[in-house]
Structure formats: C-alpha cells, structure tokens
Amino acid sequence: MANNKYDGSDIQILEGMEAVRLRPAMYIGSASSSGLHHLVKEIVANSIDEALAGFGKKITVILHKDDSVSVIDEGRGIPVSLNKEKNISTARAVFEYLHAGGKFKEDGAYQVSGGMHGVGVTVTNALSEYLTVTICRDGKIYTLQYEKGGKLKQDLLVTGTTNKTGTTVRFKADILVFKSGIEFKYDVLAAYLQENAYLLKGVKFILINEKNKNSEEVFYYENGLKDYIAELTQSQTKKIGQIAYFEDNKGEIKSEIALQFCDELYSDGDNDKYLISFANNIRTKNGGTHVSGFKAGLTQAINDFAFANNLLKGKERLEGIDIYEGLVAIISVKIPTGSKMELQGQTKDSLNTPEVQPIVKAFIYEQFKYYLSENKKFSLELIEKCYASKKAREAARKAREDSKKIRASIKQDIILSDKLTPAQSKDFEKNELFIVEGDSAGGTAKKGRDRLHQAILPLRGKPLNVESANDAKILQNEEIQTMINTIGAGIKKGFNVKNCKYGKIIIMTDADDDGAHIQTLLLTFFYRYMPQLIDLGMVYVAYPPLYRVSKEVSKKMQQIYAWNDEELDAAKKRIGAGYRVSRYKGLGEMDAIQLKETTMDPKTRTLIQVAIENDMAVNKSIRTLMAGSDTSAERKQWVLSNIDFTLKDSFVKETAND
C-alpha cells in the first residue's frame, strides 16, 4: 500500500534545468510533433503516478482554442510546503529543477512510478510560452504561474478554499522551440489516453476538444488488457482460442499479460511489432528485459508441452519466429521505485532492468504451460499452426536460396541498368536515393543531382498497392523488384540495414493529388516490407515549392520560392510591384537548377522525415485505407479526404544541413 503521507519531505532535488531550451531533443526526443506531444505526456504521467498509488480515479485533458492544454487530476495535489534545500516551495522545486520529485526516495510518495527520470514537468515548463499550476489540498487552492522559458511570474499563492484535492497544469508550448507548429493532434492524444485507460482499469480518462464544440471522449475499461487485445484483433476473422489473461501480484515486480493467437495477422513479417510492452505504464516500443523474458518463457512452455504430448516429430523444435506469427500480446510490468527501474533514454523506449527477465520468464512459463494443459483443443490447434509456420518458413528459405543466383545475375542487372541512375560514391551512408514520380521529372532530377552522392530512380506509373496483394504478386512486380534491388538490403525478416546502399531514401512526387497517392503507396511498401528504414529515420519525403515569385531588376532576375499561400504573400511583398508568380503543377515544370536549389541540394532544401508516433494506430489506418476499399478510385478519394501531405503530423521538418 502506498504511503498516504505526501509532503515536502518526499521531494529530493538532484540538479537544475539549464540548457533544456538550448537542446530540447536531449529531453523530449526532438523539437518536432513527437516532442511536442511528449510535453503533454509528461504531465499526464504525473497524474498517472497518483492513480497508480491509489489516489484519483479520473484524469482529464483539455485542448483549448489557443493551442494550450490543461491536464487535471484528482490526486493528493503537489506538496506546497517549504523545500529546505532550495528555500522555496516544494511545488516550485518540482517545476524548476530537474530530477525533483517524489520518485527518487525509496520510502517516498510512490511505490511505482513511470516518470523515473523526474525531468518531465520541468522540461515542459522550460519549453512553454506560459505554464500555470493550480493545486487543491489541505482545504486550500494554490496557484503558481510561469512565463516563457520557465521564468517565475507569480510565486505560490493561496487563491481560495476547497474540499477537493488534485492538480491542474495548463501550458502553451513555445512556437520558438516547436517551429513546425504547436497545434496538438487530437488523434495522437486520444490514442495515448486510450492506451493508458486499458492499462489502468477502473480509471477514467477524458479528452475534451474546445476547438470542436467542446466535444468529449471518455476512455474507461473494466477488463483492462483483455479489452485492449479485443480492440487490436477486432479485424481478424480467424482466431485461435480465446483471449488469455495472466496476472502476478505476489512479488515486488508485478506482471500482467494478455494475449491472443490469430491464424493470420499482417503481411509485414515483423511479428515482434505486435508484442506490445509497458513498464510502469510507460510504452517501451523497443521492448527490453520484460519482452525477452516473455518470449523465452512462452517458447519454452509451448515446446515442453508439445514434447510431453508427442506433438512434434523427432527432435524438432519450434523457433520463436514460428510461435510469434499471428500473436498479439501485451506485457505490462510494475517495478517498485526502490528497484531503480532502468529505462533507456528520457523517452524510455526500452526496459533494461536485468532482474525483470527471469521473473517474467518463469511466470509466463508456468502460467501458459498450465493454460495449454487445461485447453487441449486450443493447444492442438496452436501447435499445428506453429508447426505449419515452421515448415512454410523453411520452404521459403530454400526457395530464396535456389533462386538467389538467377535473380542476381539476370533479373537485377536488367532492371537496374534500365532505370536507375546510380551515385558514383561507394560511401553508402552519404548516398541518397531519390524515387521520382515520372520520367520527365526523373530526367530533370538527373541533370540537377549531385552525381557523387545522389541516385535517381524514376517511377513509371503508380506503384503496386502491397496491402491488397500477396507476396508472390508483389515480388513479381517490376517496380517493386527494382526498388528492392536498388536499395539492396532485402525485405522483411531478411532485411539487413548494413547492406543498404543509401543513407537516405527520398520520395519526390508532384505536389498534387496523384503525388499524394503515390507517396501513400510507397510509404505503405516501406512500412510493410522495410519497416526498419522508417524506424531508423532513413525515409524522407521531398518538399518542393508550390510557387516562384520573380522580377527582373537591372537585367538581373530576383526570385523567391514559396511553399504555401502564406509564404507566397510574404514573397510578393518582398519582391515588390511588378512581380510574376509561377505555380508549379509538377516537378517537371522546374528546370534542373530550380529543382536542385529548392528540393535536392542539402544546403538549401527541406525534407520531411517519416516517423511513427503510434505504430498500432498507423497499422490500423493503413489497413483501413489500403485494404478496405475495393477499387483504387475509392482508395484515392479516402486519401484526398483524410490525409494532409503538407508539413504536419508525424513528419519531422529538417532544413539546411538536414
């Protein structure tokens, strides 16, 4: 049971918050959309810590019309007593000093906490235009205010009385830090709150959008992870058995696991993507010791059961890759504060705590082995499926080996020599591959490229939609074969980034509807067949201008490029009377010099780096978008109605030395 005492003595300060504004990426991952949303998540994480400790059953997030955000909880309220070390209120210490919080002391306010680095609210404060804290506790209402960069505007002040407890934080991100925009995406925050509602059964999460007539969405799940698995697998028509659920609350490190086997899942071959993991409610998208323990224990349990019941031939053994195919699992562990939970980096992508691995392994081994013995029909069907996957994998590997020499010596040479204009350098990390829409634009790009490091691959027509085709058809498609052979790193489980011939893969299409459609088709291909390229930040979208404003002055041409209507208006004012506006309908309308200086030259271009903020949400959208329509016309209309391919959402803008 958590310590009900929560006051200034529970707070320990380790250091100040200098240099946060200078290098925000060190604390929130990047100064892009993902970093912007991270500011909200850090505040919400503190409210979640209170809920985990048993205080407060409701957390509310409000998106205000001025792009500020409020996070409201019903916890105990941040302590307001004097912090003797800094001679300021504890509330100020929490918002002004890194590593100040009730999470570092083993006998402090929290037995379990997600914000183990303790820098969250301080960083949010440092990167905000303003931040206001309202604390309800001890029968009083306290207010604390900061202005740009975390500068104190109003010290902690009693502003009223109340019979409630809790903390409200309202802040507005600083546009000088987040130059690509400070508008929070409703869908991103909704997915984050919904995920936490699954993890904290019995806690209600509310998202209110003032920009949309105060619309309200409530996330509340009584069955927790079982409801989460049901949501993730709702589109799967063939499932093996029911959702299995296991919970261990006996030891200090607590485990909660839910899983569902499907006969077929998705066609990207990256089955680990559907092993979703959390440590103290923090999403660990790169797994860690809890995931490795789960995989080892599950694999051993299935093999031991199969051997004991003579379900495998001879000494054959099922590999993990055979078992994980079609598996959707959620692994959640709760680690006591005193155990010094090790999460890699401030963005907490991977759990490194070594003692978690054997605990989770032993737990799932015993639980799932017993589950198999109690559900014989399910067990037989599961092992039959795993064995079929093993044989199919071995047959596919043999087929690839048999055809490898033929493809390499004949097909690859024919395809590449006909289309690719290669880079001259063998320094692959510095090389860039431009996948260009159409032969006309491809010809212009060839003339404007840096021959040493830039390769051009023009597309003839629209690429195949890989979401609605099987592997055999996809690998027979000439355009797909060309891209695979050009990049040189393989696909799916055979992908090896060390063999990649380019450090950047850049999609360059016209700034129109067809260009947006081609971008979608190519990104779907990379997401399904080479997801590591996206994970490693190697896939980009070129960002060509829409306008050119020019005027001849003293026989010299002055010109300014504009990427949107706002920049166009500014360019007209700068050029002055007598200007001429050129509207680029396609890349082919630019000459080589114009294309180079606006879109291809690393010194002057702007690229959009493709990034995934919520993998499961992206996967669901792709299936709806790319596989849910019967015709390409319907699919295209969905793109035009729902996707904005300008500089927004899950992209990172990189300028100058990108």
- Better-scored residue on pLDDT, 470 or 218: 218
The one-letter amino acid at 442 = G
For residues 333 and 402, the answer to whether their CB atoms sit within 8 Å is no
Q: What is the mean pLDDT of residues 374-381?
A: 94
Q: What is the mean pLDDT of residues 361-366?
A: 96
Q: Map residue 19 onto helix, strand or coil.
A: coil
Over residues 523-562, the pLDDT tens digits come to: 989 988 888 899 889 999 998 888 999 998 888 888 999 9
Indicate if the pLDDT at residue 16 is higher than 80.
Answer: no
Catalytic residue among 437, 467, 479, 613: 437
Number of residues that make up the chain: 658
Catalytic residue among 67, 366, 450, 514: 514
What's CA 487's distance to the chain center, in Å? 24
| Window from 286-295, 536-545, 619-628 with minimum mean pLDDT | 619-628
Confidence label for 623 from pLDDT (cuts 50, 70 and 90): low
For the four alpha carbons of 284, 290, 293 and 294, in that order, the dihedral sign comes to negative
Indicate if the pLDDT at residue 144 is higher than 70.
Answer: yes
Q: What is the mean pLDDT of residues 436-455?
A: 89
Q: What is the mean pLDDT of residues 283-292?
A: 89
Q: What is the mean pLDDT of residues 374-403?
A: 81
Is residue 49 annotated as part of the catalytic site, yes or no?
no
Is residue 437 annotated as part of the catalytic site, yes or no?
yes
Indicate if the pLDDT at residue 209 is higher than 80.
Answer: yes
Over residues 19-54, the pLDDT tens digits come to: 788 888 888 878 888 889 999 999 999 899 899 888
Over residues 584-615, the pLDDT tens digits come to: 877 878 889 999 989 999 998 888 888 876 66
Is residue 514 annotated as part of the catalytic site, yes or no?
yes
What average pLDDT does the chain have?
A: 82
Catalytic residue among 183, 342, 512, 658: 512
For residues 310 and 84, the answer to whether their CB atoms sit within 8 Å is no
- Give the DSSP letter string of 57-93: SEEEEEE-TTS-EEEEE-SS----SEETTTTEEHHHH
Q: Which pLDDT score is estimated for 510?
A: 85
Q: What is the mean pLDDT of residues 212-236?
A: 90
Q: Among candidates 196, 190, 368, 356, which has minimal Cα distance to 287?
A: 356
Indicate if the pLDDT at residue 276 is higher than 70.
Answer: yes
Indicate if the pLDDT at residue 353 is higher than 60.
Answer: yes
Bridge partners, residue 186, by sequence: none
Is residue 510 annotated as part of the catalytic site, yes or no?
yes
Q: Which pLDDT score is estimated for 629?
A: 46
The one-letter amino acid at 590 = M
Catalytic residue among 322, 510, 613, 615: 510
Indicate if the pLDDT at residue 513 is higher than 90.
Answer: no
For residues 542 and 566, the answer to whether their CB atoms sit within 8 Å is no
Instruction: Return d(Cα 651, Cα 83) in angstroms, integer.
Output: 42
Instruction: Return d(Cα 475, Cα 6) in angstroms, integer.
Output: 61
